[in-house]
Amino acid sequence: MDLLTPDLGLLFWQVIVFLGLFFILRAFAWKPITDSLNERENNIQSALDLAEKTRLEMTALKADNEKLLAQARSEREAILRGAKETADKMLADSRDKAESEGKRILEQARESMQNERQALVQQMKKEVVTLSLDIAEKVLRKELSDKTAQEKLVTDLVTNSNLN
Amino acid sequence: MMRSGINRILLVVALILSSLVGVRAQEHEHSGEPHTEHAGDEAAKKGKFDVGSMIMHHIKDDHGWEFAHGVTLPLPVILYSSDRSLEVFSSSRLAHGEVYNGYKNEHGKIHRVHEGGEASHEAKVYDFSITKNVASLLLSAAIMLLVFSAVSSGYAKNKGKAPKGIQSFLEPIILFVRDEIAKPSIGPKYTKYLPYLLTLFFFILTNNLLGLLPGAANLTGNIAVTLVLAVITFLIVTFSGNKHYWMHILKPTGVPVALLPIMIPVEIVGVFMKPISLMVRLFANITAGHIIILSLLGLIFMANALGGSGTSLAISPVVIFFTLFLNMIELLVAFLQAFIFTLLTAMYIGSAVEEHHEADHGIGYEGAEAH
């Protein structure tokens, strides 16, 4: 049993025991141990991944909310603006309409006034004519009540017409 | 990147340390042996303390397990010879050079002897005895089976919960072997080789630590044990070798054709040198540690033999201090050698299964790649 020469017996036992140990441990220790270590690592990893995913989802959700809020706000603004515009337009429209209506009414009034005045003038003219004819008749009747005056007029008229 | 850097540094430190210890061991062996013979002669003559044979007795294998002087556990002797077939008897029957059944134990080797007592070398006797080392091997196997079945059942019991007890004690080491040794050295195919690396690591570690106990066997410091481990590693590497691995040996890229007659033998020698270096490194480191500790303790007895009990009492505090210190180093070495053996095995496997041709250049290239 020298230091540097391997003994046959120990070689034999070492091969048997080491290989036996290897196969037994591989089947009953290393496999379950490494499997559960891997499983645990996977669990931890998936839990971390899930947490990260959830966090991202949360931020996405928050961003979405923000966006939604902003959209709602801008929509409200747009609606308000639209309403104001409509109201303004309606106001302006009605004002225009009222103005034009007033103008039209005024025009109409003016027209009818004109007409009435015209009619009135006409009427007055007629009245004046009638009146002056009446007056002239009366005057003539009075003037020509005597014979001489009649003759004189006739002669005047004749002379005047001869000149023509 | 950071981790692999730390790994490299650890490996370098470990190699330097191991080479230092190895050199010291060699010196010791060289200076020890003639001294031993000399002292042995003297001891035989004067009945004085022989430190060399004491050390050799402790680090070598033996039939029967001597825990302390005179306290020996007899172990079964199993012999096979072609004419007498299988024979099993207790090692106590061969104690103190007694002859039993025609067998005699001479310096740890069992020989057939004639009636008169002189050795006979006619029949070849194959010795498959449960020696001290085999007993220690079985003990360590039993311990490992117990420990790891407990760890394994811990995973079944605490499924989905935090590890507990011995499970949580060994889990970091298992993870270390997986994440720091197997994964970076072998790459994505590591799962196939992980059971072997784990068995190897814990086998070496258990036996290194068991070997540090007083009266224990020097199992990982036995060349037969390290030989078997190295041969298994060699077989795994050789049978895992892919096309790139063999092409690298037969036709290394970037080498001029004129150099091939030199390079190919060098590469082939390298294939065999790897397991040989594994074998010698573990054997030499563990044996050297034992030799140093035993030598230090032997100083007390030498002092007693040379200068009486007063001298030995005077030097023992110093010796105990150094022995404690060396025991601490040996504890470190126990982990370190398990780590180195496993890491180098993983690296050899990694070089055999690696897909990239370039990565065959080993540590330096990977290191350069990392920067």
What mean pLDDT, rounded, does chain B reach? 81
Which stretch of A20-24, B46-50, B81-85, B183-187 has the lowest confidence by average pLDDT?
Answer: B46-50
The string of pLDDT tens digits covering residues A22-80 is 999 999 999 999 998 898 899 999 999 999 999 999 999 999 999 999 999 999 999 99
Higher confidence at residue B255 or residue B65? B65
B234: phi then psi, degrees, rounded to nearest 5: -60, -45
Alpha carbon distance, N-terminus to C-terminus of chain B: 8
- Residues B98 and B74 sit within 8 Å (Cβ to Cβ): no
Higher confidence at residue B315 or residue A153? B315
Rounded (5°) CA angle A114-A119-A124: 125
The string of pLDDT tens digits covering residues B117-170 is 666 776 788 889 899 999 999 999 999 999 999 999 988 888 878 888 888 899
Residue B39's pLDDT is what? Answer: 40
Q: Is residue B60 part of a domain?
A: no
Is the pLDDT assigned to residue B22 strictly greater than 60?
Answer: no
Is the pLDDT assigned to residue B335 strictly greater than 60?
Answer: yes
Question: CA B255 from chain center: how many Å?
Answer: 37
Chain A residues with CB-CB distance to B129 below 8 A:
9
**Same domain for B10 and B108:** no
Residue B348's pLDDT is what? Answer: 94
Q: Structure tokens of B125?
A: 């006797």
- Residues B132 and B73 sit within 8 Å (Cβ to Cβ): no
Is the pLDDT assigned to residue B35 strictly greater than 80?
Answer: no
Q: Is residue B224 part of a domain?
A: yes
Q: Is residue B52 part of a domain?
A: no
Residues B171, A37: C-beta atoms closer than 8 Å: yes
The C-alpha of B96 sits at a distance from chain A's nearest C-alpha, in angstroms, of: 17
Per the structure, how many domains does chain B have? Answer: 2
Q: Is residue B54 part of a domain?
A: no
Q: Is A25 on the interface with B (CB under 8 A)?
A: yes
> Which of B332, B331, B340, B12 is CA-nearest to residue B197?
B340
ipTM: 0.80
Question: CA B208 from chain center: how many Å?
Answer: 7
Which stretch of B107-111, B131-135, B139-143, B265-269 has the lowest confidence by average pLDDT?
Answer: B107-111
Is the pLDDT assigned to residue B370 strictly greater than 50?
Answer: no
Is the pLDDT assigned to residue A84 strictly greater than 50?
Answer: yes
Rounded (5°) CA angle B339-B148-B227: 45
User: pLDDT tier at B1 (50, 70, 90 boundaries)?
Assistant: very low
Residues B145, A25: C-beta atoms closer than 8 Å: yes
**Same domain for B252 and B301:** yes
**Same domain for B98 and B205:** no
Residues B130, A31: C-beta atoms closer than 8 Å: no
Q: Is residue B162 part of a domain?
A: yes
Minimal Cα distance from A24: which residue of B? B145
The C-alpha of A35 sits at a distance from chain B's nearest C-alpha, in angstroms, of: 9
Single residue among B130, B162, B197 that ends a domain in this structure: B130
Q: Is A32 on the interface with B (CB under 8 A)?
A: yes
Torsion of CA B163, B168, B174, B178, to 10 degrees: 50
Is the pLDDT assigned to residue B302 strictly greater than 70?
Answer: yes
Minimal Cα distance from A32: which residue of B? B152
C-alpha B357/C-alpha B268 separation (Å) is 18
C-alpha B257/C-alpha B260 separation (Å) is 5
Residue B93's pLDDT is what? Answer: 84
Q: How far lies B241's CA from each of A164, B249, B262, B353, in Å?
A: 158, 11, 22, 6
Residue B15's pLDDT is what? Answer: 59
Higher confidence at residue A161 or residue B197? B197
**Same domain for B217 and B79:** no
Residues A21, B224: C-beta atoms closer than 8 Å: no
Residue A125's pLDDT is what? Answer: 87
Residue A11's pLDDT is what? Answer: 92
Single residue among B130, B154, B169 that ends a domain in this structure: B130
SS3 per-residue string spanning B176-207: HHHHHHHHHHHCCCHHHHHHHHHHHHHHHHHH
Is the pLDDT assigned to residue B31 strictly greater than 70?
Answer: no
Residues A1, B126: C-beta atoms closer than 8 Å: no
Which stretch of A10-24, B31-45, B223-237, B292-306 has the lowest confidence by average pLDDT?
Answer: B31-45
- Residue B85's domain comprises 74-130
Chain B residues with CB-CB distance to A10 below 8 A:
61, 131, 133-134, 137, 222, 224-225
**Same domain for B340 and B325:** yes
Residues B60, A3: C-beta atoms closer than 8 Å: yes
Q: Is A16 on the interface with B (CB under 8 A)?
A: no
**Same domain for B97 and B16:** no
Chain B residues with CB-CB distance to A30 below 8 A:
194-195, 198-199
C-alpha B224/C-alpha B60 separation (Å) is 11
What average pLDDT does range B182-206 have in this prediction?
Answer: 93
User: pLDDT tier at B342 (50, 70, 90 boundaries)?
Assistant: very high
Minimal Cα distance from A33: which residue of B? B152
**Same domain for B106 and B41:** no
**Same domain for B124 and B28:** no
Residue A54's pLDDT is what? Answer: 95
Is the pLDDT assigned to residue B33 strictly greater than 80?
Answer: no
Residues A18, B109: C-beta atoms closer than 8 Å: no
Q: Is residue B61 part of a domain?
A: no
Question: CA B280 from chain center: how many Å?
Answer: 8
Is the pLDDT assigned to residue B213 strictly greater than 50?
Answer: yes
Residue B364's pLDDT is what? Answer: 42
Is the pLDDT assigned to residue A104 strictly greater than 80?
Answer: yes
SS3 per-residue string spanning chain B: CHHHHHHHHHHHHHHHHHHHHHHHHHHHHHHHHHHHHHHHHHHHHHCCCCHHHHHHHHHCCCCCEEEECCEEECCEEEEEECCCEEEEEEHHHHHHHCEECCEEEECCEEEEECCCCCEECCCCEEECCCCHHHHHHHHHHHHHHHHHHHHHHHHHHCCCCCCCHHHHHHHHHHHHHHHHHHHHHHCCCHHHHHHHHHHHHHHHHHHHHHHHCCCCCCCCCCHHHHHHHHHHHHHHHHHHCCHHHHHHHHCCCCCCHHHHHHHHHHHHHHHHHHHHHHHHHHHHHHHHHHHHHHHHHHHHHHHHHHHHHHHHHHHHHHHHHHHHHHHHHHHHHHHHHHHHHHHHHHHHHHHHHCCCCHHHHCHHHHHHHHC
Higher confidence at residue B115 or residue B224? B224
C-alpha B219/C-alpha B60 separation (Å) is 9
User: pLDDT tier at A86 (50, 70, 90 boundaries)?
Assistant: very high
Is the pLDDT assigned to residue B186 strictly greater than 60?
Answer: yes
Q: Check residue A134 and report its DSSP letter.
A: H
DSSP 3-state assignment of A6? coil
Residues A17, B138: C-beta atoms closer than 8 Å: yes
**Same domain for B149 and B109:** no
What mean pLDDT, rounded, does chain A reach? 89
**Same domain for B355 and B234:** yes
Q: Classify B110 in phi/psi space as left (phi over 0), alpha (psi -120 to 50) or beta.
A: beta
Residues B178, A37: C-beta atoms closer than 8 Å: yes
**Same domain for B120 and B31:** no
State the best of A4, A10, A11, A44 to mutate against chain B, taking most chain B CBs within 10 Å: A10
**Same domain for B325 and B223:** yes
What average pLDDT does range A146-161 have in this prediction?
Answer: 82
Single residue among B130, B152, B168 that ends a domain in this structure: B130
**Above pLDDT 70, what percent of chain B?**
81
Residue B8's pLDDT is what? Answer: 65
Of A4, A13, A30, Cβ closest to residue B195: A30
C-alpha B38/C-alpha B53 separation (Å) is 11
C-alpha B298/C-alpha B287 separation (Å) is 16
User: pLDDT tier at B356 (50, 70, 90 boundaries)?
Assistant: low
The string of pLDDT tens digits covering residues B215-245 is 888 899 999 999 999 999 999 999 998 888 8
Minimal Cα distance from B221: which residue of A? A3
Q: Check residue A5 and report its DSSP letter.
A: S
The C-alpha of B25 sits at a distance from chain A's nearest C-alpha, in angstroms, of: 13
